[in-house]
């Protein structure tokens, strides 16, 4: 039950079925658990999940694309953050359609490397109390948000799995615990009945007992950390997962709310970039570290991230840039990466192995419970207490080694104990590698594997036959012993088979490439391939035809699937009568291989019938096999991106011109602030952007003063977050730029304190002068209570003599309360003049602007801001997914730019720091069949020539896709802009 301090909330609404040994929260029996795993609607389930933030893919039609790719890799769940500042919906309907459970993580604080950790910006300046405590005003601030989450979530509870309350937080001091208790009370007083959980950002034993304790404890673990500079240098695996779990909550399932699936990347010229992160956390990492997690007996696992996406607009916190690719298995542009096949091999194994969902941790090779011939190998034994199926998970004893290790293993089976392999030289770990050796492993309706040192990709039943698909490395031997039934018709080359006492021992010799048939009878089909070939296979589920509950959910509506090899992606499959309909994506010609029920006579691909290669199919299997050549249309190779030309230009910094009026700007006259970091110096006025509702992107300040001949300089302390910048003018004269800094998370400077000297002739003596400050601001910090209230703005202002008169401030039109663009949201725009006028929006008339190429930079090599706008047309036929990116020059220059595509701020190029210069933009923001508007706000930070270039690049062409992607790019309107 949920442990709280309020006794009235402990009263169970429902009784847990007697004699089951299950635990629940007293509010529902649809989600129960024991020390092994979750029990959902009476079925034991291994939750195999990947993190996906819908707010980082602001095209809802493409959520289906990600969910299909998640499901195709064998995952049965996603974990989803809700972003309080954006109030994004979660993909409940799409997830139900695909058959994916959702673990909902609404916060209010989510971290996720987002601005203010997801907390709405207005809270950071309007709430005086400490955030994420039991402070009264903070309590009032999150009420509407949480009630909204409850309202939206309740209809999808059974398919979502339940919310995680807040995120990555300590249970002490008491104010933290009281805050969690208050959040729990809000859910318990609602119609949310699924269990509540939280994630502990390290082994801190938080939220297991005491005030604020949750139903299910979750742990975060990122064993490689977040610096990808040396992607071939590993940190060792964590060896105490199991012992830690046993010490803190042994009676409960073992849940990893976040396990490393990639890494964030930082600003700076030495930042490694996400390609290196994809190497550091690549397929070998997934193989060794994920299986090490399995060996700790974890049965609810979420990999962070599976799809990272884009931190567009003001989404990112100061430590990261626009791309949130994260080195994930699914890239930011939605392409499948080199990491994806390994996750798919793991996912299909888990889906095929229900005995693995309930296992006891028996011991390992250092504790005497497992015996190996070579101490360089480390093996952990998990065993199902009901079926006695055993899973020996092997890795290198020194997990960072690249040495090849060969060993033999003593196993316990239903026919006795013996050493395996029995016929080959040993089990080989090829450097950084893990393997699972199974014993007494069931597949199909009645078949058994006595043991196998080959890896299991698929085990199940297809068309009445028991089917097993094994794989192994082509450079080493592997071996399996299993009961083979029926009369074999095909046996592949490279296989040695010896039968004894009804059990066949099969040896797979080195050198096997591609798919071979080991056994093909009316009762069984056994296949084997090399590891890479196994990664090209899919096992799409066949949904139940009857209108059953959870028709698309594995274990619930269906247990039927097929095998499909070859295509880039298989999205879904249906069988109607004798026709098998496959839907998916192609980017090249491939051989299609299908194992299906033998009553399938016709196969279609994306609705088009395919001609079978009968001879090839008969060499694979006599029944249920289908082989053909799939070839995409010639259109796949015919796309050429349009050139970005005919740029129109206008100055976007009229604020420094003589006669500019800031009469309609907001007076910056506050003398108090609820932000805990006070000004350093000045006259008592507080110049923090959020205090005036300007929390996002670029903010401008104008300080008025009268000058005399003794006025020589001004001191300004400016806070903008790591990698920020602020350029200062007096009247129309450039003074200097203050630079924040970040060099791959080192030398971070988020605040400056500089003296700006007034050049001769820049001041108007005995007249009004104006200091103009243009700064990036309000990408707020995260993690600590005070950091979400960072003092973005001017923390100190002082003339060498005299005082400032009026200060004015301007950010986005309407601030965070009355911002104009309700579709793109509060984080999309800032305070540049061009933004305030809507120059970035499609439909704004630039015909009167001058023609000036972007590569020419600003006129006269001045420091300032200019807007460049052009349009281009796309004409991409339906049925194609064509990922595209906008690519800037990759040269260090003193400029920053904001990239807008059809009104969406899809990138911030910081040329003096880097590393990002390529910005993916999705269909739906891009109009595949129409005119697209691209705008670049170019900020030259020094009075020197800058020469940015921008090209549109096609990253790939895939025939297929999800189709039906709608654009939602509201055009320019004069309302509120003029």
Active site residues: 168, 258
Provide the terminal-to-terminal Cα distance of the chain, rounded to the nearest Å: 58
Alpha helices in 379-501 (DSSP H): none
Residue 103 structure tokens: 């673990």
CA distances from 898 to 42, 264, 274, 828, 847 (A): 52, 21, 21, 11, 21
Rounded Cα distance between 907 and 897, Å, is 8
CA distance 861 to 941: 10
- At residue 140, the 3 state secondary structure works out as helix
**Among 952, 830, 938, which residue's Cα sits nearest to residue 893?**
938
Query: What contacts 791, CB < 8 A, 6 or more positions away?
Result: 673, 675, 677, 678, 679, 688, 719
CA torsion sign, 853 to 859 to 863 to 868? Answer: negative
Contact present, 373 and 350 (Cβ < 8 Å):
no
| 3-class state of residue 798 by DSSP | strand
Beta strands in 187-319 (DSSP E): 197-200, 216-221, 255-260, 300-307
If one counts every other C-beta atom within 10 angstroms of the C-beta of residue 768, the result is 12
Cα 280 to Cα 70, 331, 334, distances in angstroms? 21, 15, 20
- As to burial, measured by CB atoms within 10 angstroms (0-12 exposed, 13-18 middle, 19+ buried), residue 789 is buried
**Assigned token pair, 526:** 């056994």
Under a CB-based contact definition with an 8 Å cutoff, are residues 178 and 184 in contact? no
The β-bridge partners of 443 are 447
Structure tokens that stand for 280 in this block? 């550091």
CA angle 373, 377, 378 (to 5 degrees): 115
Q: What does the alpha-carbon distance between residue 141 and residue 143 come to, in Å, rounded to a whole number?
A: 6
For 898, the 3-state DSSP assignment is strand
Cis peptide before 419 (omega within 30 of 0): no
Cα 948 to Cα 857: distance, rounded to the nearest angstrom? 7
Classify strands 216-221 and 255-260 as parallel, antiparallel or unpaired: parallel
Contact assessment for residue 119 and residue 84, using Cβ atoms and an 8 Å cutoff: yes
Token pair of 463, please?
Answer: 């068309």
Q: From the CB of residue 766, how many other CB atoms can be counted at a distance below 10 Å?
A: 9
* CA atoms 46, 52, 54, 58: torsion sign: negative
Partners of residue 198 on adjacent β-strands = 217
Strand boundaries in 790-836, DSSP class E: 793-799, 804-810
Cα–Cα separations (whole angstroms), residue 65 to 42, 161, 371, 718, 901: 30, 21, 46, 43, 21
């Amino acid at each position: 039950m949920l442990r709280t301090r309020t006794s009235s909330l402990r009263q169970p609404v429902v009784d847990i079925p007697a004699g089951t040994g299950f635990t629940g929260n007293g509010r529902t029996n649809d989600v129960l658990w024991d020390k092994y795993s979750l029990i959902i609607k009476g079925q034991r389930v291994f939750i195999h999940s990947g993190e996906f933030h819908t707010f980082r893919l602001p095209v809802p039609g493409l959520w289906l694309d990600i969910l299909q790719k998640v499901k195709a890799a064998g995952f049965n769940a996603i974990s989803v953050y809700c972003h309080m500042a954006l109030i994004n919906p979660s993909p409940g309907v799409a997830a139900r359609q695909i058959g994916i459970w959702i673990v909902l993580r609404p916060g209010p604080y989510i971290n996720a490397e987002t601005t203010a950790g997801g907390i709405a910006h207005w809270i950071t300046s309007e709430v005086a109390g400490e955030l994420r405590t039991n402070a009264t005003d903070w309590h009032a601030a999150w009420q509407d948000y949480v009630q909204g989450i409850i309202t939206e979530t309740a209809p999808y509870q059974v398919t979502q799995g339940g919310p995680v309350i807040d995120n990555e937080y300590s249970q002490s001091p008491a104010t933290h615990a009281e805050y969690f208790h208050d959040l729990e009370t809000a859910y318990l007083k609602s119609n949310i009945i699924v269990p509540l959980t939280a994630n502990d950002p390290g082994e801190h034993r938080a939220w297991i007992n005491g005030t604020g304790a949750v139903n299910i404890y979750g742990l975060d673990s990122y064993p490689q950390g977040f610096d990808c500079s040396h992607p071939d240098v590993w940190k060792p695996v964590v060896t105490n997962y199991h012992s830690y779990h046993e010490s803190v909550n042994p009676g409960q399932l073992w849940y990893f709310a976040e396990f490393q699936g990639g890494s964030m990347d930082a600003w700076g010229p030495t930042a490694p970039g996400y390609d290196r992160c994809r190497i550091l956390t690549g397929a070998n990492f997934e193989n060794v570290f994920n299986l090490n997690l399995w060996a700790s007996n974890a049965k609810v696992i979420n990999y962070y991230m599976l799809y990272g996406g884009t931190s567009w607009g003001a989404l990112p916190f100061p430590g990261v840039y626009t791309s949130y690719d994260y080195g994930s298995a699914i890239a930011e542009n939605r392409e499948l990466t080199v990491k994806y096949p390994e996750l798919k091999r793991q996912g299909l194994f888990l889906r095929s192995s229900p005995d693995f969902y309930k296992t006891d941790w028996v011991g390992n090779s250092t504790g005497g419970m497992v015996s190996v011939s070579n101490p360089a190998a480390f093996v952990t034994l998990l065993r199902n207490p009901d079926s006695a199926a055993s899973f020996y998970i092997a890795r290198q004893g020194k997990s960072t080694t690249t040495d090849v290790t060969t060993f033999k293993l003593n196993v316990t089976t239903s026919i006795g104990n013996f050493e395996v392999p029995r016929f080959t030289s040993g089990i080989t770990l090829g450097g950084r590698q893990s393997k699972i050796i199974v014993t007494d492993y069931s597949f199909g309706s009645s078949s058994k594997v006595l043991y196998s040192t080959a890896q299991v990709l698929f085990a199940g039943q297809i068309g009445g036959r028991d089917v097993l698909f094994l794989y192994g490395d082509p450079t080493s031997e592997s071996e399996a012993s299993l009961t083979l039934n029926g009369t074999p018709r095909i046996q592949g080359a490279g296989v040695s088979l010896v039968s004894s006492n009804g059990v066949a021992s099969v040896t797979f010799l080195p050198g096997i490439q591609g798919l071979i048939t080991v056994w093909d009878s009316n009762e069984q089909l056994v296949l084997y391939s090399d590891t890479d070939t196994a990664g090209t296979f899919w096992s799409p589920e066949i949904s139940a035809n009857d209108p059953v509950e959870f028709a698309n959910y594995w274990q619930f509506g269906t247990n039927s699937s097929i095998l499909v090899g070859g295509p880039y992606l298989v999205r879904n499959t249906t069988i109607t009568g004798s026709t098998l309909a496959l839907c998916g994506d192609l980017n090249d010609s491939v051989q299609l291989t299908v194992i299906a029920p033998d009553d399938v006579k016709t196969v279609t691909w994306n609705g088009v019938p395919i001609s079978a290669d009968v001879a090839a199919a008969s060499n694979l299997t006599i029944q249920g096999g289908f082989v053909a050549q799939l070839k995409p249309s010639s259109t796949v190779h015919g796309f050429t991106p349009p050139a970005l030309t005919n740029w129109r230009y206008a100055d976007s910094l009229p604020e420094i011109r003589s006669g500019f009026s800031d009469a309609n700007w907001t007076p910056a006259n506050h003398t108090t602030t609820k932000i805990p970091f006070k000004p350093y110096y000045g006259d008592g006025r507080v110049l923090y952007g959020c205090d005036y509702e300007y929390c996002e992107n670029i903010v401008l300040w104008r300080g008025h003063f009268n000058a005399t001949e003794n006025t020589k300089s001004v001191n300004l302390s400016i806070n903008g977050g790591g990698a920020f910048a602020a350029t200062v003018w007096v009247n129309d004269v450039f003074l200097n730029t203050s630079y924040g800094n970040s060099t791959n998370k080192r030398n971070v400077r988020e605040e400056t304190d500089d003296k700006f000297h007034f050049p001769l002739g820049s001041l108007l003596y005995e007249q009004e002068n104006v200091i103009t400050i243009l700064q990036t601001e309000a990408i707020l910090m995260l993690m600590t209570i005070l950091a979400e209230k960072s003092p973005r703005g001017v923390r100190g202002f002082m003339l060498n003599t005299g005082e400032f008169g009026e200060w004015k401030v301007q950010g986005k039109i309407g601030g965070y309360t009355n911002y104009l663009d309700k579709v793109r949201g509060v984080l999309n725009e800032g305070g540049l003049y061009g933004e305030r006028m809507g120059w970035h929006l499609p439909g704004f008339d630039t015909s009167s602007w001058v023609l000036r190429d972007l590569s020419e930079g600003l006129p006269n090599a001045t420091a300032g801001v200019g807007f460049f706008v052009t349009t281009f047309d796309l004409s991409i036929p339906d049925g194609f997914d064509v990922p595209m990116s906008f690519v800037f020059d990759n040269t260090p220059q003193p400029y920053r730019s904001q990239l807008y595509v059809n009104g969406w701020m899809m990138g911030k190029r910081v040329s003096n720091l880097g590393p990002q210069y390529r910005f993916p933009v999705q269909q739906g923001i891009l109009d595949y069949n129409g005119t697209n508007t691209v705008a670049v706000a170019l900020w030259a930070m020094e009075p020197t020539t800058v020469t940015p270039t921008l090209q549109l690049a096609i990253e790939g062409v895939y025939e297929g896709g999800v189709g039906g992607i709608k654009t939602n790019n509201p055009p320019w309107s004069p309302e509120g802009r003029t």
